[in-house]
Amino acid sequence: MFRKPVIAGNWKMNTLPFEGVELARSLREKLGEVANVEVVIAPPFTHLHAINEEVKGTPIRLAAQNLNAKDSGAYTGEISAAMLLTMGCDFAIIGHSERRQYFGETDDSVNEKILAALANQLTPIVCVGETLEEREANKTLEVIATQLSGALKGLTAEGWKDIIVAYEPVWAIGTGKTASNEQAQEVHGFIRSELEKSLGKAIADKTRILYGGSVKPDSICGLMDQPDIDGALVGGASLKAEDFVKIVNFGKG
């Protein structure tokens, strides 16, 4: 089954708005036409309007880094899925480990956010991943299964819309330690088999599963060679236009 690769850049809380616009412009110029890869960037909320103006009509698509599951109301400081859609976002990263670690996100809140994203035509990029402690205790697959079933609670094969899963081992994020191709493939294969168990083979076959954790231009090809790795969620290297473009162009030697 062909699954169009996705390369998504998570800028986190980096760049001032004018720097973000420059980075987006540089990406746009360096990338040119890209037909065979879906290219996504997730700048901070404050940059979305200006960056949308910069990338409109190009292959670069926008993601939010988070959202609030409520539609509107007295939730000071929060941003809804509908607001993000009108800012030009097509995707939303949900349940990133930094949000779980520092902002108390749980599988239940991740589930609510996924439902809100889907109700507002945003494609969720749902992050799951184990800590080093969990990996060393041989609990990786158990942790991933729990996160996945919690995140996808209530979703059925009939109502399924495009959802992207990102496997991001916490110990590999921002540390320079990438999971080996084999370690990543093992978990990606497991995620696909869990999707098959709960939602059926057709959904499992078409769902894109990204790897995230210190992906760099020199590690992307080995990862993309794995049968169940359909792209990457890139943090640090997405802030350097040259590196991100090399990652997007992984197949071009």
CA dist 43 and 50 (Å) reads: 11
Could you say which of 38, 47, 96, 130 is catalytic?
A: 96
C-alpha pair distances (Å), 135 with each of 142, 177, 183, 191, 213: 10, 14, 11, 16, 15
Residue 49 bears catalytic tag: no
User: Smaller CB distance to ligand PEP: residue 45 or 160?
Assistant: 45
Residue 235 near ligand PEP by CB under 6 A: yes
Residue 10 near ligand PEP by CB under 6 A: yes
Interior CA angle at 27 toward 176 and 56, to 5°? 130
CA dist 139 and 218 (Å) reads: 29
Could you say which of 38, 130, 134, 168 is catalytic?
A: 168
CA dist 214 and 166 (Å) reads: 13
Residue 217 near residue 237 (C-beta atoms within 8 A): yes
User: Smaller CB distance to ligand PEP: residue 127 or 204?
Assistant: 127
Residue 233 near ligand PEP by CB under 6 A: yes
User: Smaller CB distance to ligand PEP: residue 92 or 199?
Assistant: 92
CA dist 189 and 175 (Å) reads: 24
The binder of ligand PEP chosen from 24, 83, 117, 215 (CB under 6 A): 215
At residue 102, the 3 state secondary structure works out as helix
By CB under 6 A, which span of 27-35, 48-56, 103-111, 233-241 interacts with ligand PEP?
A: 233-241
Q: Which residue has the tokens 């590999």?
A: 172
Residue 43 near ligand PEP by CB under 6 A: no
Residue 244 near residue 15 (C-beta atoms within 8 A): no
User: Smaller CB distance to ligand PEP: residue 204 or 239?
Assistant: 239
Minimum distance from CB of 1 to ligand PEP (Å)? 25
Residue 65 near ligand PEP by CB under 6 A: no
By CB under 6 A, which span of 73-81, 101-109, 208-216, 240-248 interacts with ligand PEP?
A: 208-216
Beta pairing partners, 210: 166
At residue 160, the 3 state secondary structure works out as coil
Residue 33 bears catalytic tag: no
DSSP state of 109: H
Minimum distance from CB of 220 to ligand PEP (Å)? 11
By CB under 6 A, which span of 148-156, 180-188, 194-202, 227-235 interacts with ligand PEP?
A: 227-235
Contacts of 190 (CB under 8 A, 6+ apart): 141, 144, 145
Token pair recorded at residue 185: 């493939």
The binder of ligand PEP chosen from 106, 161, 174, 242 (CB under 6 A): 174
Residue whose Cβ sits closest to ligand PEP: 235
User: Smaller CB distance to ligand PEP: residue 164 or 215?
Assistant: 215
Helix-helix angle 140-151:181-199, to 10 degrees: 40
Q: Which residues bind ligand PEP (CB under 6 A)?
A: 10, 168, 173-174, 212-215, 233-236
Residues belonging to the active site: 96, 168
